[in-house]
Structure 1
Amino acid sequence: MSVALGPDTELVGRELEAATLRERLRQHPVRLVTLTGRAGVGKTRLAREVVRELGAEFDRVEVLDAAAPGESGRDAMRALVHRLTDASQPAPGDAGSLRPAPGDAGLPRPAPGATGGRILLLLDGCDHEARRTAAETAVALAADPRVVVLATAVEPLGVYGEQLLPLTPLPVPGDGEGDEPHEVASVALFVRRARDADPSFALTLENSAAVTEICTLLGGLPLALELAAQRLRLLPPHLLAARLRGRTTVLAGGPVDAPGRHRSLAALAEWSCRGLAPAARALLGRLAVYEPGFGLAAAGLADEEGLEPLMDRGLLVVAAEERGELRLAVPEPVRSYARTGPAGADGGGAVLDAHAERYRRLVAAALPGLTGTGQDRLLRESAAESPNVLAALRRLHEQGDGEAAAAMVLGCRLPWLAQGRLREGLEWCDQVDGDRGQQLPDSLRARLADLSGVFALALGDPQEAARRHRRALALGKSVGDRRQNALASVGLGTALLRSGDASGARSVLVTALSALSAMGVTGGAAEAAVSLAGALHAEGDRRQALGSLDRAEETFRRIRDGRGLAGALRAGAAMALEGDEPARAEAAVREALRLYEAIDERTELPGVLEEFALLLFRTQPAQRPRTVRLLAAADVLRRRTGAEVPQEWRSKAEQTRTELGSRLDWPDFATAWAEGVRMSAATAVTEALSAPAPSRRPVAGAATEDRSLTPRQAQVALLVAEGLTNRHIAARLDISEWTVVNHVRQVMRRLGCTSRVQVAGAVGRWA
Structure 2
Amino acid sequence: MSVTGGPDTGLIGRESETAALRERLRSPGVRLITLTGRAGVGKTRLAGEAVREPGDAFARVVTVDAAAPQALAGLRETVVAAAPEDAAGRRVLLLLDGCDHEARGPAAEAVVALAGEPGVVVLATGVEPLGVYGEQLLPLGPLPVPGDEYGDKYGDGSGGDGGSPHTVASVASVALFTRRARDADPSFALTPENAAAVAEICTLLDGLPLALELAALRLRLLPPHLLAARLRGRTTVLAGGPVNAPARHRSLAALAEWSCRGLDPAALALLERLAVYEPGFGTAAAGLDDEDGMDALLDRGLLTAVGEERGELRLAVPEPVRSHARARGAEAADAHAERYRRMAAAALPGLGGTGQDRLLREAAAEAPNVLAALRQLHGRGDAEAAAALVLGCHLPWLAQGRLREGLEWCDTVADAGPLPEAPRARLTDLSGVFALALGDPQEAVRRHRRALALGKGVGDRRQNALASLRLGTALLRTGDATAARSVLVTAHSALSTMGVTGGTAEAAVALAAALCAEGDRRKGRALLAAAEETFRRSRDGRGLAGALRALAALDLEGDEPEPAGTALREALRLYEAIDERTELPGALEESALLLLRTRPAQRPRAVRLLAAADVLRRRTGAEVPQEWRSQAERARTELGARLDWPDFATAWAEGARMSPATAVAEALSSPGPSRSPVAGAAAEDRSLTPRQAQVALLVAEGLTNRHIAARLDISEWTVVNHVRQVMRRLGCTSRVQVAGAVGRWA
**TM-score (normalizing by structure 1):** 0.85
Q: Give me the whole-angstrom Cα distance separating, in 2, the residues matched to 1:696 and 1:186.
A: 55
User: How far 1:669 moved relative to its partner?
Assistant: 2.0
Cα offsets for 1:304-331 (capped at 9, x unmatched) = 1110001111111112211111111110
Q: Give me the whole-angstrom Cα distance separating, in 2, the residues matched to 1:183 and 1:502.
A: 53
> Contact (CA 8 Å) 2:32, 2:122: kept in 1 or not?
yes
- Structure 2 counterpart of 1:50: 50
Moved more, 174-183 or 54-63: 174-183
User: How far 1:447 moved relative to its partner?
Assistant: 0.9
Cα offsets for 1:587-634 (capped at 9, x unmatched) = 111111111111111111111111112222222223222222222221
Q: Give me the whole-angstrom Cα distance separating, in 2, the residues matched to 1:605 and 1:214.
A: 32
Equivalent residue of 1:122, what SS? strand
- Structure 2 counterpart of 1:405: 386
Equivalent residue of 1:534, what SS? helix
User: How far 1:5 moved relative to its partner?
Assistant: 5.3
Equivalent residue of 2:222, what SS? coil
| 1:386-401 → structure 2 map (5 Å cutoff) | 386-401=367-382
Counterpart of 2:317, as a letter, is V
- Bigger Cα Rg: 1
> Contact (CA 8 Å) 1:98, 1:117: kept in 2 or not?
no
**Pairing partner for 1:580 from 547, 559, 570:** 559
Cα offsets for 1:117-140 (capped at 9, x unmatched) = 311111111101111111112111
- Structure 2 counterpart of 1:733: none
Cα offsets for 1:161-220 (capped at 9, x unmatched) = 100011111111132346821232212222222222222222222211111111111111
**Pairing partner for 2:312 from 325, 337, 352:** 325
Cα offsets for 1:275-334 (capped at 9, x unmatched) = 111221121111111111111111111111110001111111112211111111110000
> Contact (CA 8 Å) 2:57, 2:90: kept in 1 or not?
no
- Structure 2 counterpart of 1:693: 672
User: How far 1:357 moved relative to its partner?
Assistant: 1.0
| 1:220-239 → structure 2 map (5 Å cutoff) | 220-239=207-226
- Structure 2 counterpart of 1:478: 457
Counterpart of 2:468, as a letter, is S
> Contact (CA 8 Å) 1:55, 1:120: kept in 2 or not?
no
**Pairing partner for 1:500 from 466, 475, 479:** 479
The answer to whether the aligner puts 1:136 opposite 2:109 as a matched pair is yes
Q: Give me the whole-angstrom Cα distance separating, in 1, the residues matched to 2:562 and 2:218.
A: 60
**Pairing partner for 1:310 from 287, 297, 303:** 297
Q: Give me the whole-angstrom Cα distance separating, in 1, the residues matched to 2:516 and 2:566.
A: 21
**Pairing partner for 1:684 from 663, 667, 670:** 663
> Contact (CA 8 Å) 1:513, 1:528: kept in 2 or not?
yes
- Structure 1 counterpart of 2:704: none
User: How far 1:114 moved relative to its partner?
Assistant: 6.2
| 1:267-278 → structure 2 map (5 Å cutoff) | 267-278=254-265
- Structure 1 counterpart of 2:537: 558
The gaps in structure 2 that reach 5 residues or longer are: 151-159, 683-739
- Structure 1 counterpart of 2:84: 98
- Structure 1 counterpart of 2:206: 219
- Structure 1 counterpart of 2:78: 83
> Contact (CA 8 Å) 1:3, 1:64: kept in 2 or not?
no
Q: Give me the whole-angstrom Cα distance separating, in 1, the residues matched to 2:653 and 2:169.
A: 17
- Structure 1 counterpart of 2:707: none
Moved more, 392-401 or 363-372: 392-401
> Contact (CA 8 Å) 1:631, 1:676: kept in 2 or not?
yes
Cα offsets for 1:686-714 (capped at 9, x unmatched) = 222222334666299x99xxxxxxxxxxx
Q: Give me the whole-angstrom Cα distance separating, in 1, the residues matched to 2:361 and 2:349.
A: 15
Q: Give me the whole-angstrom Cα distance separating, in 1, the residues matched to 2:652 and 2:260.
A: 49
Q: Give me the whole-angstrom Cα distance separating, in 1, the residues matched to 2:338 and 2:3.
A: 53
Cα offsets for 1:311-362 (capped at 9, x unmatched) = 111111112211111111110000011122xx33xxx2x3111111111111
**Pairing partner for 2:95 from 114, 122, 135:** 122
| Residues 511 and 390 (structure 1), Cα distance of their counterparts in 2 relative to 1, 3 Å cut | same
The answer to whether the aligner puts 1:195 opposite 2:176 as a matched pair is no
Counterpart of 1:208, as a letter, is A
**Pairing partner for 1:153 from 126, 147, 172:** 126
> Contact (CA 8 Å) 1:602, 1:641: kept in 2 or not?
yes
- Structure 2 counterpart of 1:727: none
**Pairing partner for 2:274 from 268, 287, 290:** 287
| 1:257-276 → structure 2 map (5 Å cutoff) | 257-276=244-263
Counterpart of 2:169, as a letter, is H
Q: Give me the whole-angstrom Cα distance separating, in 2, the residues matched to 1:234 and 1:3.
A: 40
Counterpart of 1:399, as a letter, is R
The answer to whether the aligner puts 1:255 opposite 2:255 as a matched pair is no
| 1:531-680 → structure 2 map (5 Å cutoff) | 531-680=510-659
| 1:24-43 → structure 2 map (5 Å cutoff) | 24-43=24-43
> Contact (CA 8 Å) 2:243, 2:250: kept in 1 or not?
yes
Moved more, 668-677 or 465-474: 668-677
User: How far 1:534 moved relative to its partner?
Assistant: 0.5
Q: Give me the whole-angstrom Cα distance separating, in 2, the residues matched to 1:351 and 1:77.
A: 42
> Contact (CA 8 Å) 1:624, 1:660: kept in 2 or not?
yes
| Residues 534 and 695 (structure 1), Cα distance of their counterparts in 2 relative to 1, 3 Å cut | closer
Cα offsets for 1:2-60 (capped at 9, x unmatched) = 36554202222222212211121111011001111111111111111111132553111
User: How far 1:662 moved relative to its partner?
Assistant: 2.3
| Residues 162 and 648 (structure 1), Cα distance of their counterparts in 2 relative to 1, 3 Å cut | same
Counterpart of 1:154, as a letter, is V
Counterpart of 1:528, as a letter, is A
> Contact (CA 8 Å) 2:3, 2:61: kept in 1 or not?
no
Q: Give me the whole-angstrom Cα distance separating, in 1, the residues matched to 2:619 and 2:101.
A: 46
- Structure 2 counterpart of 1:443: 422
- Structure 1 counterpart of 2:493: 514
| 1:336-355 → structure 2 map (5 Å cutoff) | 336-340=323-327, 343-344=328-329, 348=330, 350-355=331-336
Q: Give me the whole-angstrom Cα distance separating, in 2, the residues matched to 1:528 and 1:502.
A: 14
Structure 1 vs Structure 2 CA RMSD: 2.1
Cα offsets for 1:471-498 (capped at 9, x unmatched) = 1111222222111111011000000000
User: How far 1:641 moved relative to its partner?
Assistant: 0.9
Counterpart of 2:342, as a letter, is R
Q: Give me the whole-angstrom Cα distance separating, in 2, the residues matched to 1:11 and 1:686.
A: 41
The answer to whether the aligner puts 1:165 opposite 2:148 as a matched pair is no
Q: Give me the whole-angstrom Cα distance separating, in 2, the residues matched to 1:428 and 1:596.
A: 25
Percent identity, aligned pairs only, is 78
Q: Give me the whole-angstrom Cα distance separating, in 2, the residues matched to 1:298 and 1:679.
A: 30
Q: Give me the whole-angstrom Cα distance separating, in 1, the residues matched to 2:207 and 2:319.
A: 9
Q: Give me the whole-angstrom Cα distance separating, in 2, the residues matched to 1:541 and 1:624.
A: 34
Q: Give me the whole-angstrom Cα distance separating, in 1, the residues matched to 2:214 and 2:665.
A: 41
Q: Give me the whole-angstrom Cα distance separating, in 1, the residues matched to 2:420 and 2:351.
A: 25
Counterpart of 1:673, as a letter, is W
| Residues 236 and 4 (structure 1), Cα distance of their counterparts in 2 relative to 1, 3 Å cut | farther
- Structure 2 counterpart of 1:64: 64
Q: How many residues align?
A: 671
Q: Give me the whole-angstrom Cα distance separating, in 1, the residues matched to 2:385 and 2:143.
A: 40
